[in-house]
Structure 1
Amino acid sequence: MSNTTNGRLVSLDALRGFVMFWIMSGEHIIHALAKTAPIPVFIWMSSQLHHAEWNGITFYDMIFPVFLFVAGVSMPYSFEKKMQLAGVKTPQELPGNEKRKIYLSMLKRTCILLVLGFVVNGLLRFDGFDQTRFASVLGRIGLAWFLAGILYLNFDFKKQLIWFFGILIGYYVAMKWIPVPDFGAGILTKEGSLEGYIDRLFLPGRLHSTVYDPEGILSTIPAVATALLGVFTGTFLKAKVAFSVEFKLFLMTLTAVLLIIAGLIWDINFPINKHLWTSSFVCFVGGFSILFFVFFYLIIDLFGFRKWAFPLILIGSNSILIYIAAEGLVDFKHTADYVFGGLIHFLPLIWQPVFAALSVTVVQLILLYFLYKRKWFLKI
């Protein structure tokens, strides 16, 4: 993971922290607020912090792809030093021995994320092979990032674009035209989709949703396109071109709007669906990912307003660590109750759940601040 002193964009850590905040404890604050003060804005925000049941989209559905998009944006910056040392201008020009080192490093990172994903899913409970869920959020991040990295290292921008559109169109054709036994072709239900069928056929262990897994095998392929969108964004932003940064941001915003429109149009025939990671979902959320990044880059890196984002930077600089901890490795609720529970009991009963949820975030931020000040980051 990165920090604010290693030359990378501060906005990337802030955006990563923003999306991770909702997973680690932010959603519980909003849900508590919606119950305590059921005004329309809190009720709407609470509804947006649940996954869409199937087709359709909520803000919560965007968190995972935005995180993967940010990983893609980081890629051109992380390889920049290697290109400078090798005296080349593009990653495709890197010598073969240098590429092999990068491949091994990327493979190691992917394997670590896969294993950590197993751990988050309860591998260490030793419930048996058939009860272990092997698909995971961290695993998909690792695999999609790895495959996008292979494309970035071996193909120029035009060929990367061909791969991007090829993945989206190829996934659409497969999902719509390849028949599933007992269901036929183009049945985009949990059990009838090609994605669910392949999961049941080839994915070992326990599936998240019995008949399919939202981080399953086939739907990992379009997730590569999500990572590639981040790669395109990072490549374009750091490219030395004649026009200004401001005009770059304008073009990025325009691209984002076009992607959102494309996603909405494609939704008519291939519904926006996070569970299946449909091609329309990639376009729609990809557009919003770019808009989120433009906002954070404009405010933090371009205008220099960083102080407000410091809590987000704390989260973003150790995002994998806090994700693993919040998913069950650490009982933050117990710690927060031990530290703040006595004080919270003096508050009006109706507001106690809200401050209890807030206290969990405070404990998490204290831990992250401690790690940040000592420059202890989980680097994968």
Structure 2
Amino acid sequence: MTTKINPTQALPIKAQQSQRLLSLDALRGFDMFWIIGGEHIIHALAELTGWPVMNWLSVQMHHTVWNGCTFYDMIFPLFLFISGVSMPFSFGRKFTEFGVGYGFQLPAAVKKQLYKTMIRRTLILIFLGLVVNGLFKFNGYENTRFASVLGRIGLAWFFAGLIYLNFDLRKQMIWFCFILIGYWLAMIFVPVPGFGAGNLTMEGSLESYIDRLFLPGRLHSKVHDPEGILSTIPAIATGLLGIFTGTFIKDQRFSPLRSVYFLLLLSLGLILLGLLLDLSFPINKRLWSSSFVLFVGGYSIAFFALFYLIIDVLGFQTWTFPFVLIGTNSILIYLAVEGVVNFGYTANFIFGGLINLSSGPFSDLLRAVSLMAVELAFLYLLYKNKIFLRI
């Protein structure tokens, strides 16, 4: 039975200062849902029904080739944004313990302890990213891809955390602006040998050139890597945007409903600002352009505001359980579906007979749904036994 919370009641929201936001776990699970098989369900439904809305959704489940943005392009930055939102709640316990308002006010010994934890988490994520890329296939140094999604999450989260722990909110915002403007100016005005300045193609961009010069091993696209060195810098701004959002919610300067209104207005402003900047620095996930940070950041805030409103403020929580299963073990399920566990074999073993009785698009839909069912069953067993991969 769904429990409803009166949005005018302050106690449940105040309790969130020391508790985990359910909306964060649910949003993280919603985000990861599409990676672990949700996209295949949409593709199969589009093929089966032929409905225009399903065809549109199917298109949204693909990355853009270069400039532009689809829903699927938002999944990675949304995950990084969520990591930023959680930081004021996780680190904030230390602030409360020592009665300080900002990280730079913490005792040196405490900050040193936090740095060690952050470095450990970052190194583990970089290593796991290498594992996903096939580190133990031993295909040779030159065939190993060192850049990775998990590596970027670790690095961007780490440097955003350093800014959070060493500067007040005003200076954090200055860092945010400095990163986006600095990256924009560098990409537009720094010349690349053979291409000149301001070339934003895959081959001629400054980001790609730096990858070819300094990124070891194999690049994702031969001349370019979407998780490369230079484009990791604006990803820090994505993490900072999450930190600003988490700080705003945690500080509770306004009522929960008013906070949601402010977040939705901010999201609209960032989307419009991203579209404006798109005129000179195109929205581009592979370059993680400054316009991309603003545009997707606006949508990320909107997603969080809606999940926060529905789940934590209004109290409609029962429907979130499948997403919570995914969100509380997001890194583990990501590693699993990237090759550590063959869920497809298990799904075919259990549901293969039913799938074979059907044909065409309906068979594809059953296959996609059965795969998701097996993954959720796996996550449910972990959840019931309180087994979580904490990094």
TM range (shorter): over 0.9
Q: Partner residue of 2:197?
A: 185
Of residues 103, 107, 110 in structure 1, which corresponds to 2:119?
Answer: 107
Code of the aligned partner of 1:377: F
- 1:44 and 1:273 map into 2 onto residues whose CA distance is 20
Task: Summarize deviations over 1:263-302 as a string: whole Å, max 9, x none.
Answer: 0000011000000000000000000000000010000001
Q: CA deviation at 1:172?
A: 0.3
Residue 24 of structure 2 aligns to which amino acid in structure 1? L
Paired position in structure 2 for 1:334: 345
In the TM superposition, what are the counterparts of 1:46-65 in structure 2 within 5 Å?
46-65=58-77
What displacement does 1:208 show? Answer: 0.2
1:302 aligns with 2:313: yes
Distance (whole Å) between structure 2 residues aligned to residue 361 and residue 166 of structure 1: 42
Q: What is the CA–CA distance in structure 2 between the aligned matches of 1:300 and 1:170, rounded to whole Å?
A: 38
Structure 1 position 342, deviation (Å): 1.2
**Superposed counterparts of 1:71-90, under 5 Å:** 71-90=83-102
Measured at CA, do residues 356 and 13 of structure 1 come closer, stay the same or move farther in structure 2, by a change above 3 Å?
same
Equivalent residue number for residue 256 of structure 1: 267
CA distance in 1, matches of 2:141, 2:50: 44
Report % sequence identity.
61
Query: Does the CA contact (< 8 Å) of 2:44 and 2:361 recur in 1?
Result: no
Which whole-Å CA distance do the structure 2 matches of 1:215 and 1:344 have between them? 37
CA distance in 1 between counterparts of 2:361 and 2:160 reads: 48
Pick from 278, 287, 302 the counterpart of residue 298 of structure 2.
Answer: 287
Cα offset, 1:240, TM superposition: 4.0
Extract structure 1 runs of 4+ deviating beyond 6 A. Answer: none
- C-alpha distance in 1 between matches for 2:153 and 2:168: 23
User: How far apart, in 2, do the equivalents of 1:100 and 1:39 lie?
Assistant: 56
Shift of 1:33: 1.7
The more displaced of 201-210 and 327-336 is 327-336
Structure 1: distance between partners of 2:260 and 2:48: 40
Partner of 1:274: 285
For structure 1, which runs of at least 5 residues remain unmatched after alignment? none
Q: Which moved more, 1:11-20 or 1:348-357?
A: 348-357
Report how far residue 123 of structure 1 moved: 0.5
Q: Take 1:245 and 1:309, find their aligned partners in 2: how far apart are those partners?
A: 20
The equivalent of 1:352 in structure 2 is: 363
In structure 2, what residue type is equivalent to 1:366? Answer: A
Task: Indicate yes or no: 2:246 matched with 1:234.
Answer: yes
Choose from 365, 371, 380 the match for 2:382: 371
CA deviation profile, 1:179-226 (whole Å, cap 9, x unmatched): 000000000000100000000000000000000100000000000000
Distance 2:199 2:146 in 1: 25
Q: Please, which of 336, 349, 363 is the counterpart of residue 325 of structure 1?
A: 336
- 1:92 matched to 2:104? The reply is yes
Offset from partner CA, 1:276-333 (integer Å, 9 cap, x none): 0000000000000000000100000011111111000000000000001111111111
CA distance in 2, matches of 1:349, 1:59: 27
Question: 1:91 Cα deviation (Å)?
Answer: 1.9
Deviations 1:25-80 (A, max 9, x none): 11111112222222211111110000000000000000000000000000000012
Matched, 1:199 2:211: yes
Equivalent residue number for residue 16 of structure 1: 28
Code of the residue aligned with 2:357 in structure 1: it is: F
> How far 1:82 moved relative to its partner?
1.4
Q: How many residues align?
A: 375
Gaps of 5+ in 2: 1-15
Measured in 2, the distance between the counterparts of 1:349 and 1:113 equals: 40
- 1:97-127, CA deviations, whole angstroms, 9 ceiling, x for partnerless residues? 0000000100000000000000001111010
In structure 1, how many angstroms separate the alpha carbons of the residues matched to 2:304 and 2:238? 14
Question: In the alignment, what sits opposite 1:66?
Answer: 78
- Measured against aligned partners, the alpha-carbon deviations of 1:2-22 in whole angstroms (never above 9, x if no partner) come to xx9x82100001000001000
Shift of 1:251: 1.1
Q: How does 1:124-203 map to 2 (within 5 A)?
A: 124-203=136-215
| Structure 1 position 253, deviation (Å) | 0.9
The one-letter code of the counterpart of 1:312 is F
* 1:134 match: secondary structure: coil
Give, in angstroms, the shift of residue 349 of structure 1.
4.8
Change (3 A) 1:59 1:349: closer
Write the distance in 2 (CA, Å) between the matches of 1:174 and 1:357: 44
* Distance in structure 2 (CA, Å) of the matches to 1:130 and 1:350: 40
Separation in 1, partners of 2:197, 2:347? 51
Partner SS state of residue 345, structure 1: helix
Amino acid at match of 1:281: F
